[in-house]
Chain A
Amino acid sequence: MTPPLRPAVPAADRAGPAPSPPDWVPTRALGRAVLLTGLLLFGAVLLGRVDLVVIAAPFALGTAVALRRRPTALPKLRLALLDDQLVVEGGEISAGAQLGNEDAVDYDLVVSRIRAPAWLRIDRADRPYVVSARRGEVVDIDLPGTARRWGRHPLGPAAARAVACGGLLASSPVVTGTLSAKVYPATEPFEAVEAMPRAAGLVGQHRSRRPGEGGELAGVRVFAPGDRLRRIDWRVSLRTRQLHVAATLSDRDAEVALLLDVTSEAGESGGIRGAASVLDTTVRAAAAIAEHYLYRGDRVSLLEYGGSGRRLRPASGRRQYLTVLEWLLEVRATAHPVESNDVLGQHWISSNALVVVFTPLMHPQSAGMLAQLARSGRFVVAVDTLPKALTPARRGPWTEAAYRIWRLEREVAIGQLREHGVPVVGWAGAGSLDLVLRDVSRLATAPRVTASGQGRVGG
């Protein structure tokens, strides 16, 4: 005999949901006013003294007047970034909260607190703000500050508690969620020689329609900040009494792949005006190089080595630059080093691309990845992102010796990479890559043998 079936869905709770706390609760001041009024009136009746009635009168009158209209709605609180401009680290950010009173009663005061992230230096952000809000009024609480580091910084949560009826009633706290404040990396000035190892496009068959450094004249336009002086068209400038430049079309179609090693973070970040950690250098340098090549009309792609292995498809133009900046905001260091070199999908990188790898070379896997890229025939340049003034925390008498041995091993790895044709340079802003790019371009013109053993001619 089969047992009787029972419903799989749990039975509804007969007690119903737990009652929510009331929106407005009486304060201790209300209890005090009622108690004192009652005691004084009782004493007046008992002792037959009018003076006690006179003393009780303000308490009775004040309570009656204050409670004649009571609030019902909770205050509305919303976090907001009051400025729509793109914020770059080191720049001004205008965060704040909007406090609304949708009730028919004035709020005597509203106490609000906003939690600000450490990388946003906001004056007096750690203090509660007390404002009054009349009925139907929206009060802005401005918190101007400075963004100290790139990234997405969670602003909030914020909480507010209103007091009405002369302090006799207080609302239950209103808490908001967080708001992500985007701070873009400040790009260090970066200039590089025009040497590119190999153009990916079919130069000569089709004229490029993309503006950039080239020989094909696209027109003459007014000089703008960032234009090169040698592009000035002096004849037109003299005639019009205003500087004009000869705009040209790009005659190259090269791809630059920026590979970010996010397997480790080292050094303490001090923000825009402090020391730079590995990720700081990585992100700022990647943004600068991407800006440089995108401005010149090249295609730029980004990949992560380690972490979730994110990638950004190659593209060009200003939209791609903004996408690159957004992409860089999500860069995070992974907790564990990559165990296998297969994490990097090499098929995502074009064989003709110039690969710029930002790596602190803290793990042997990073050096292996670089060697693997070089063996596959790609033009690889490694940017060393390890802070120069890095000192490990002293954990024992052998810490210093162990650190020195590690540095020596790292130097050996860098030397071996150079022998394999992978230049490793430190990041120093403008001109960091000039020397190595010339070398790579020179190498690209020579016949090379790839790992598969098939000879081919670069260029």
Chain B
Amino acid sequence: MMLDPLRRFWDAVGRVTPGPMLVRAGIFVTALGALLTAYPTVVVTGRLVAALVLLAAAPAVAPRGRATTLVVLAAVCGWLLATMGFQEPVTLFRLLGLAGLLYLLHSLAALGAALPLDAVVAPEVLARWISRAMLVVAASAVPALVAVAAADALHGAFLLASLVGLVIAVGVAALLTHLLRRE
């Protein structure tokens, strides 16, 4: 009787196919990359990196749960800790890398949640999905560059962040209202 769950587990492991496993591996890699990019060097080079690895494995194991949201929030907290607490400089490459990795994590988790582990996946499904996510990352880098450049030029990051944040917030609210009206 005790062996039944174990046998079911090994049967399920034996049925796993490469496509969904590739997606799960992608989730883990992007999550770990985002956490390593976000957290301060002291944490990344210390013993706490093991906790980051464990944290990155959570959305790969359970992409349908809340683990992805928690990892993104943990990465943002790490980013704030590094830049505000440890006074690490905000470099453009690191910032864009973190933003891109977090969005890729979000997108791959959405794909991983839809794919059963034993599914036979057509290769074009993965190719289209990843190319679309990369396109979004590339497209969002342009306004990000403009915002950072404008902040440097104006020497008033606080005001600019407030304005841009408010504009985007209003835009998102308008979009959601529009979508709800179409229901």
Which A residues form the contact surface with B (CB < 8 A)? 27-29, 32-45, 47-65, 67, 70, 108-109, 111, 124, 127-132, 163, 166-168, 170
Contact = CB atoms under 8 A, between A and B. Distances in A.
B147 A50 contact: yes
B140 interface: yes
A28 B113 contact: yes
B151 A50 contact: yes
Given A109-B114, A130-B125, A60 B157 contact: no
Interface in B118-142: 118-122, 124-125, 128-129, 132-133, 136-137, 139-140
20 contacts: A27-B113, A29-B107, A38-B169, A41-B165, A45-B169, A48-B157, A50-B148, A51-B79, A51-B148, A52-B161, A53-B165, A54-B144, A58-B137, A60-B168, A61-B136, A62-B103, A64-B171, A108-B129, A167-B111, A167-B113
Contacts of A35: 69
Given A127-B17, A128-B120, A58 B64 contact: no
B69 A45 contact: no
A51 B172 CA distance: 18
Contacts of A32: 68-69, 72, 106, 109
A124 B121 CA distance: 12
A53 B122 contact: no
B120 A127 contact: yes
Given A41-B165, A61-B140, A65-B136, A130 B121 contact: yes
B137 to A, nearest CB: 6
* Majority secondary structure of chain A interface residues (helix, strand, loop or mixed): helix
A363 to B, nearest CB: 40
B116 A34 contact: no
A63 B147 CA distance: 20
A57 B99 contact: yes
Interface string B157-183: 111111011101101100110010010
B161 to A, nearest CB: 4
A189 B178 CA distance: 72
Contacts of A166: 107, 110, 129, 132-133
Interface stretch (B40-48, B49-57, B90-98): B90-98
* Majority secondary structure of chain B interface residues (helix, strand, loop or mixed): helix
A284 to B, nearest CB: 35
B85 interface: no
Given A48-B162, A57-B168, A132-B128, A168 B115 contact: no
Contacts, number: 181
B69 A36 contact: yes
Contacts of B72: 32, 36
Contacts of B5: none
B76 interface: yes
Contacts of A55: 76, 79, 95, 98-99, 102
Interface residues of B, number: 66
Nearest to B150: A50
A204 to B, nearest CB: 68
Most buried by B among A48, A49, A50: A50
B116 A128 contact: yes
Contact of B165 (A44, A124, A128, A163): A44
Contacts of A58: 99-100, 102-103, 136-137, 140
Contacts of A41: 165-166, 168-169, 172
A42 B179 CA distance: 22
Contact of A57 (B125, B133, B144): B144
A129 B64 contact: no
B73 interface: yes
Contacts of A40: 76
A130 B157 contact: no
A167 B164 contact: no
Contacts of A34: 172, 176
A48 B151 CA distance: 11
A127 B151 contact: no
A33 B176 CA distance: 12
B1 to A, nearest CB: 24
Contacts of B171: 60, 64
Most buried by A among B68, B98, B148, B164: B164
Contacts of A52: 76, 161, 165
A64 B100 CA distance: 16
Contacts of A39: 73
Contacts of A50: 147-148, 151, 157, 160-161, 164
A130 B164 contact: no
Contacts of B113: 27-29, 167
A8 to B, nearest CB: 41
Contacts of B128: 108, 132
- Of all A-B residue pairs in the complex, the 4 with the closest CB atoms, nearest first, are A167-B110, A48-B158, A29-B110, A58-B103
B147 A54 contact: yes
Contacts of B182: 70
